[in-house]
């Protein structure tokens, strides 16, 4: 991705240090009272003339520990101590020290006002960029250049208990499938609800109330509920990517947010700062973007967002992983699209609210594999196409014998599922032989998971479509499954 810088922040662009770093203690005690002013001058000289920030910090801390300290000198020492941390790049500690001035020395207006100018602003959404039906598709890349997965983010309007909400879904396909759902108020933009469905982490639902100061966390799989109280307004962590789209585009703009990571039940404080405005060569073309740095202790993340009215996140850097925009569009649930393979001579129809992700086929040079990511149901839907010679189970001229051999293999693979007395039904799909499978998995007498598959055989190719998910998500996703399966044609 080509980047041409237009302007740079007048502030230092540095990595944030850890929150609550222990204060350094002076190696020798400061002489009391009469020599404090001289010690302050020495500390200022170390800071400004010699850029010896470590020694300056020790001096300022020793001044603040002195007895009978003149409050004007103390306030200046406190302010300059905060400046040293800022210059070191430890912004979290700098904000902590700047924040002490008003409480400790309220009468020292010069230093209190100067400190307030350095503190992050209280976040207030400055812009509403959201569009119903917007969809962003991203690819994840490791530092080695190897692909790590994909994600799709979609936005729609819903109404809950008379309240108009934006319904945001992040669907991630990277190692596991994970769906994060966030609902936030269309006027205040406060987080109202967040949900997580993860193959590894399970299901978590969180409701926010009391102005973002109370989170009620539900773990339905273990029938447990927790209530967590916060000191200030708190947003859900996955909501943050949307909130940064609402910043004013001003270099040097800085704000601090409390974010709740619901799968750890931890509240974290994150400082965001716009550090640059630049031109970037993206899938949208060459566009002007603003660069936001997010600092969580000593960890730093970068988000690049277009400056136009859409404010589209085009690139995110998290640790060594790069998350880059592949496609941006507006989906229409009533629209039907047609997929035509570039590799083989076949096609199928699918609903526009599905996002197709063509995935690698491992060592196979002939297999084509496609995942479908949907904003409306958290099931796993996958299609495959391959040459008949690669299957190894085909009984020439006898489709039923072929399906019998295939079903025996599939039933061993899905041994926890019950396929019933008749594991498959035979039918024709656009002139080709097809078999449809349905199965369920039970736990303590209740169906907890469903599975459907379709296998279609032509003269040279075979196609499979599989769907797996929970019963509560089945109706809509199974309808999509059937529509796709019955539209496959050569």
Q: Is 32 exposed, middle or buried (0-12, 13-18, 19+ CB in 10 A)?
A: exposed
pLDDT at position 409, please? 83
pLDDT in tens, 295-340: 887 788 999 999 999 999 999 998 889 999 999 999 888 899 999 9
For residue 300, count other CB atoms closer than 10 A to its CB.
19
pLDDT at position 361, please? 61
Please list, in sequence order, all residues whose beta carbon lies within 8 angstroms of the beta carbon of residue 392, skipping any fewer than 6 positions away: none
Tokens coding 249: 């585009």
pLDDT at position 399, please? 85
Residue 297 · residue 17 · CB < 8 Å: yes
Tokens coding 38: 């001289």
Residue 451 · residue 439 · CB < 8 Å: yes
pLDDT at position 202, please? 84
Instruction: Taking each helix axis as running N to C, give the angle between helix 36-48 and helix 53-65, from 0 to 180 degrees, rounded to the nearest 10.
Output: 160
- CATH homologous superfamily for the domain 336-485: Mog1/PsbP, alpha/beta/alpha sandwich (3.40.1000.10)
pLDDT at position 96, please? 76
Residue 214 · residue 206 · CB < 8 Å: no
pLDDT at position 132, please? 93
Residue 120 · residue 271 · CB < 8 Å: yes
* CB hemisphere CA count around 314 (13 angstroms): 24
Residue 419 · residue 411 · CB < 8 Å: yes
Alpha carbons 348 and 337: distance in angstroms, whole number: 9
pLDDT at position 333, please? 80
Alpha carbons 178 and 262: distance in angstroms, whole number: 14
Tell me the β-bridge partners of 195.
181, 205
pLDDT at position 411, please? 83
pLDDT at position 339, please? 95
Q: Where are the alpha helices (DSSP H) in 287-330?
A: none
What does the pLDDT profile of the chain (490 residues) look like in tens digits? Answer: 444 433 322 222 222 222 222 222 233 344 444 588 889 999 999 999 999 999 999 999 999 988 778 899 999 999 999 999 888 877 767 877 888 898 899 999 999 999 888 876 677 787 899 999 999 999 999 999 998 888 999 999 999 888 999 999 888 887 777 888 999 999 999 999 999 888 788 889 999 999 899 999 999 888 899 999 987 889 999 999 899 999 999 998 888 888 999 888 888 888 899 999 999 999 999 999 999 999 887 788 999 999 999 999 999 998 889 999 999 999 888 899 999 999 999 999 999 888 888 776 667 788 999 988 776 566 788 999 999 888 877 777 788 888 888 888 888 888 889 888 888 899 999 999 999 999 999 888 889 889 999 999 998 899 999 998 888 778 888 999 999 999 999 9
pLDDT at position 89, please? 77
Q: Read off the DSSP letter of residue 74.
A: H
Alpha carbons 402 and 422: distance in angstroms, whole number: 16
pLDDT at position 300, please? 85
pTM of the model: 0.69
CA distances from 125 to 164, 185, 210, 246, 247 (A): 17, 12, 19, 5, 6
Tokens coding 109: 């207006």
Please list, in sequence order, all residues whose beta carbon lies within 8 angstroms of the beta carbon of residue 264, skipping any fewer than 6 positions away: none
Give, for 80, the enclosing helix (H) or strand (E): helix 71-88
Alpha carbons 311 and 304: distance in angstroms, whole number: 9
Residue 379 · residue 467 · CB < 8 Å: yes
pLDDT at position 368, please? 92
The ranges assigned to domains in the chain are 14-119, 134-330, 336-485
Q: Given the DSSP bridges, would you call strands 234-236 and 254-261 parallel, antiparallel or unpaired?
A: parallel
Tokens coding 343: 């590799």
Select from 342, 406, 407, 348 the least CA-distant residue to 382: 348
- CATH homologous superfamily for the domain 14-119: Tetratricopeptide repeat domain (1.25.40.10)
Alpha carbons 173 and 72: distance in angstroms, whole number: 57
pLDDT at position 377, please? 62
* CB hemisphere CA count around 175 (13 angstroms): 8
pLDDT at position 29, please? 42
Alpha carbons 22 and 355: distance in angstroms, whole number: 49
């Amino acid at each position: 991705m080509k980047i041409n810088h237009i302007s740079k922040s007048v502030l230092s662009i540095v990595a944030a240090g850890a929150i609550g770093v222990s204060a350094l203690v002076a190696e020798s005690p400061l002489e009391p009272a009469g020599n404090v002013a001289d010690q302050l001058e020495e500390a200022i000289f170390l800071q400004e003339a010699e850029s010896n920030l470590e020694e300056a910090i020790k001096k300022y801390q020793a001044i603040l520990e002195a007895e009978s300290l003149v409050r004007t000198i103390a306030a200046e020492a406190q302010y300059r101590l905060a400046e040293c941390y800022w210059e070191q790049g430890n912004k979290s500690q700098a904000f902590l020290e700047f924040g002490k001035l008003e409480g400790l020395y309220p009468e020292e207006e010069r230093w209190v006002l100067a400190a307030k100018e350095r503190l992050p602003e209280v976040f207030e959404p400055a812009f509403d960029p959201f569009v119903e039906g917007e969809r962003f598709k991203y690819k994840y890349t490791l530092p080695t250049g190897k692909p790590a997965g994909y994600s799709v983010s979609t936005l729609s309007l819903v109404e809950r208990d008379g309240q108009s909400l934006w319904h945001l879904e992040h669907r991630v396909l990277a190692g596991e499938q994970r769906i994060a759902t966030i609902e936030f108020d269309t006027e205040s933009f406060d987080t109202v609800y967040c949900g997580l469905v993860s193959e590894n982490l399970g299901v978590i639902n969180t409701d926010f109330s009391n102005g973002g100061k109370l989170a009620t966390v539900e773990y339905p799989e273990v029938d447990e509920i927790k209530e967590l109280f916060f000191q200030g307004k708190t947003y859900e962590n996955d909501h943050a990517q949307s909130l940064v789209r609402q910043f004013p585009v001003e270099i040097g703009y800085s704000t601090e947010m409390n974010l709740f990571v619901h799968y750890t039940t931890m509240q974290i404080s994150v400082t965001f700062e716009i550090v640059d405005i630049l031109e970037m060569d993206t899938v949208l073309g060459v566009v002007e973007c603003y660069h936001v740095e997010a600092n969580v202790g000593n960890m730093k993340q970068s988000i690049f967002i277009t400056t136009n009215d859409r404010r589209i996140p085009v690139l995110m850097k998290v640790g060594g992983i790069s998350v880059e925009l592949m496609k941006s569009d507006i989906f229409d649930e009533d629209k039907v699209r047609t997929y035509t393979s570039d590799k083989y001579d076949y096609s199928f129809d699918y609903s526009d609210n599905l996002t197709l992700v063509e995935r690698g086929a491992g060592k196979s040079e002939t297999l084509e594999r496609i995942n479908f990511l949907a904003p409306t149901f958290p099931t796993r839907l996958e299609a495959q196409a391959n040459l008949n010679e690669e299957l190894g189970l085909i009984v020439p001229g006898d489709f039923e014998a072929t399906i019998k051999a295939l079903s025996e293999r599939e039933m061993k693979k899905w041994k926890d599922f019950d396929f019933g007395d008749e594991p498959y039904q035979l039918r024709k799909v656009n002139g080709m032989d097809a078999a449809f499978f349905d199965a369920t998995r039970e736990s303590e007498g209740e169906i907890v998971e469903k599975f459907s598959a379709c296998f279609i055989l032509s003269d040279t190719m075979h196609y499979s479509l599989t769907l797996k998910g929970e019963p509560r998500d089945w109706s809509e996703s199974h309808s999509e499954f059937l529509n796709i399966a019955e539209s496959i044609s050569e």
